Amino acid sequence: MRGKTVVITGGTSGIGEVAAVRLAEKGARIVFVARDKTRAETTLAKLALANPGVVHSFHIADLFSLAEMKRVAAEIAAAEPAIDVLINNAGGLFEKRQVTVDGLERTFALNHMAYFVITNGLLKTLKPGARIVSTASDAHLAARLDFDDLQFEHGFKGFRVYGTSKLCNILFTRELARRLEGTGITAVCLHPGFVATRFATNNNGWLGMAFAVLKKLAAISPEKGARTIVHLASVPGIDCNGGTYWYKCKPIAPSRAARNAADAKRLWEISEQIANG
């Protein structure tokens, strides 16, 4: 990874921060997107220790907002004309339904549209041989897309909505890989495992309490959860595996719904319409 530039969202905590530091230790220069400047500066200090030979940097953005997604993608594209790896990792789970300034349900906005908008905003800066790595989840396994209610105006349940957003991540990766055929750029996604991070701690109700208990009983460390991200970003030989879904550094089969090419194409087209206003 020496001499390579890695862009990552969700890089100030959990598996995103661990992955950023480990890739820096391998020689990469890290550019990350953060929402909070104080947390960003803390992560930047860790990256400087991991690889002091290069100048790492961050960009501040609110990834709930389409305008902010577009702005930060344009800023990074202007500053980084040759990106080797893009890691889409920012995400969240929310117990109650709320909408963003754009009228989007916020899980859909952050977990799916931020991946879509930032990736498309940076495509022209990705070098031949570059990789796009997106964090999905096995939470998608029971999910189904309802194209008549993508914003979950009816029957909102936090974990169900989260699982659907992770299904969107896999379908997005599938369609992205199809569109990138012949470019030399590889798009893959992954399940990191159930990881003990800050994830879901923003919820004060039963969902937050349930996750707190489950993390103590069954969660793996952020270090272990980040391994597949680091693998997909750095290990040679995955270039022919575009559109695949990985766990524990190996490709695995996602759900049947996640392999639906027609849904992947339709989701892309709808996402494009949303992004373009």
Catalytic positions, please? 162
Question: Across-strand partners of 88?
Answer: 134
Q: Tell me which residue of 110, 125, 7 sits closest to 66, measured CA to CA.
A: 110
Q: Please name every residue paired with 60 in a beta bridge, in sequence order, or none if there are none.
A: 34
The residues with which 251 forms a beta bridge, in sequence order, are 246
Give dist(CA 28, CA 15) in Å, integer.
Answer: 17
**Closest residue by Cα to residue 15 from 275, 191, 176, 156:** 191
C-beta of residue 119 within 8 angstroms of C-beta of residue 132: yes
